[in-house]
Amino acid sequence: MKNALCLASLLALIIVGEAAQLPYGTASDLDLGLPPDLTALPCSPLPFNIPGRRIPALTVFSKLAAADLADRAVPLPQANTLAHVSFQQRRFGRLSTDDGSILFFNPETVLVKFRGQALVSVLRVEPMREWEAVQWLRKRPDVEFAELDSFERRQFTPNDLRLASQWHHQVIGSFQAWDYGLGQPSVRVAIVDSPFQMDHPDLAANTVNGWDVDANQAVTSSAGIVHSTLCAGMAAAVINNGIGVAGAANCQILPININGAISDMYNATLWAASNGVRVVNISWSGGTNPVLEAAGLFLKTNAGGILVMSAVDGAGLLNGPNQPDVYCVSMTDAADNFQATMYGPYIDFSAPGYEIYSTTTDGGYASGTGCSFAAPLVAGVVAWILGLNPTLSPSDVIEMLTNTAVNLGTPGWNEYFGWGRIDFGAAAAAAAATLPNITSVRWSSNWAILSANLRPGLAYSLWRTAQLSPPNWAQVANAIPATNGGTITLTDPAPPPACAYYSLRAVRTGAN
């Protein structure tokens, strides 16, 4: 693509010094992030002893250096860590971390992986010395890692009030995808149609000005029509704003007005490609047209973008060509049945579109049925993937969607479902695996050495800040890179003396 795209990985933290272990204490449901519907469920406490599992014998601190320490540990599948007792009694170990938060952990328990052993094991250690034991164990040459048995939190569940009416999120795995993030406003989706309601309460925060290809002027406001407003909501209704419904991604969305001519659609796609749009949704017929293939190729080549179109509502065979840069989406229902779509070689994917629930005009919500609504759902998924990793090429994204789609009908491609029904959750996991994530951080001779997975075609840089709130990132100009197979290491030869937060960034340039 013409412009460089930049991606920052998750942070890695190095702290010189030690976090502070606090006295044992309680934790509230809020501290633990327990949802109200879970805490309201009746439950019977588990017994202290669990059949088939054994409580590890106590290892006093002086024995942590013993040569036979691995023999004292109990492999996790066989161990009763008593975490259920700690949880039921709300009795936790507490660690005050450098950022001021409290980490809750299972008392008297350390998780340790000994080199050469297949499983993680459990050591029961002296009370109030868990963190000290972890630090001691990490120094042993036969220990791969040692960690506290921390209590983690459930990840994101949107608070949109009408989310339960959107069955399609359960089917395609949206909740699993949203655990990785909600999308990025840096990615734009164009809804090519008569404009949608731009000031809809569930769309406005994600909406930016669009374009009228017929009038050749900006679209800055619109009362909208039902068709396009339903489409807009499927792609990008604001997630987690406490009202209404949720789209696939919190990306930017904009209208491009057309009257339905192929030339309009072509012009709309080219305008989008030239104005920062990477995903174009056209929920009209025409997906087999070579003019729109030329538009899709332009979008792919000049913006690293993807053109998603609806299949044709109806019944019977549509024996049109499968244009390589136009992705046509057929419609499924809540049971993954094929619904009211003209089938044929032009189909690439399928997605929910039957009796879906989304935004509509006058600030409202309504159900609708049609391939028109399956396509913007896929467009929103594409935008979410590009938001997670903007260095991905269109080919990368399509490969992820193809490899993770749920096979319906005959295995592989078929003329009803294409490569299958979109699996948002699985595609999100595949996208996350492409991130240049920091996999380890270590100190050696007062150098900070960070390892990450290496992805061909990206240029990596190392960034550092002494604080996260607010961060003051600066590139480590003298970072020393080295590669070995699928791993890259970047060494900071002069880290700060107290505390450093590191971020790995990658840039991709060139054509897609």
**Residue 227 annotated among the catalytic residues of the structure:** yes
Looking at 150, 184, 209, which one is the last position of a domain?
A: 150
**Residue 174 annotated among the catalytic residues of the structure:** no
Whether residue 353 is contained in a domain is answered as yes
**Residue 168 annotated among the catalytic residues of the structure:** no
Instruction: Mark whether 305 and 405 lie in a shared domain.
Output: yes
pLDDT of residue 355 exceeding 70, the answer is yes
Amino acid 39: pLDDT: 56
H/E run at residue 379? helix 371-388
Whether residue 27 is contained in a domain is answered as no
Looking at 432, 458, 482, which one is the last position of a domain?
A: 432
Tokens 């909406």, residue located:
207
- Which residues on adjacent β-strands are paired with residue 110? 123, 148
- Minimum mean pLDDT range among 150-164, 245-259, 401-415: 150-164
Q: Which of 193, 325, 348, 492 is catalytic?
A: 193
Confidence of residue 466 (pLDDT cuts 50, 70, 90): confident
Whether residue 466 is contained in a domain is answered as yes
Amino acid at 77: P
Q: Which of 227, 330, 333, 350 is catalytic?
A: 227
Indicate left, alpha or beta for 469 from its phi (over 0: left) and psi (-120 to 50: alpha).
Answer: beta
Q: Which of 9, 194, 372, 503 is catalytic?
A: 372
- Reported pTM: 0.71
Instruction: Mark whether 257 and 369 lie in a shared domain.
Output: yes
Contact 416, 30 (CB under 8 A): no
What domain count does the chain have? 3
Looking at 414, 432, 450, which one is the last position of a domain?
A: 432
CATH of the domain at 495: 2.60.220.30
Whether residue 26 is contained in a domain is answered as no
How far, in Å, CA of 276 to CA of 273, rounded?
6
Q: Give the three-class secondary structure for 507.
A: strand
Contact 117, 143 (CB under 8 A): no
Instruction: Mark whether 445 and 411 lie in a shared domain.
Output: no
Instruction: Mark whether 296 and 234 lie in a shared domain.
Output: yes
CA 130, 135, 137 angle in degrees (round to 5)? 90
Instruction: Mark whether 330 and 418 lie in a shared domain.
Output: yes
What are the pLDDT digits (tens) for 482-505? Answer: 999 889 999 999 988 777 888 888
Task: Supply the range of the domain harboring residue 362.
Answer: 163-432
Instruction: Mark whether 205 and 291 lie in a shared domain.
Output: yes
Instruction: Mark whether 273 and 391 lie in a shared domain.
Output: yes
CATH of the domain at 365: 3.40.50.200
Instruction: Mark whether 176 and 212 lie in a shared domain.
Output: yes
Confidence of residue 12 (pLDDT cuts 50, 70, 90): very low
Please, where are the H alpha helices in 248-317?
Answer: 262-273, 290-303
How far, in Å, CA of 296 to CA of 32, rounded?
47
Whether residue 196 is contained in a domain is answered as yes
Amino acid 42: pLDDT: 55
What are the pLDDT digits (tens) for 94-152? Answer: 998 766 778 889 999 999 999 999 887 999 999 999 999 999 999 999 998 888 988 76
What are the pLDDT digits (tens) for 34-57? Answer: 655 445 545 677 789 988 889 999
Higher-pLDDT residue of 320 and 444 is 320
Give the mean pLDDT of the chain: 88
Mean pLDDT of 450-464: 86
Instruction: Mark whether 347 and 408 lie in a shared domain.
Output: yes
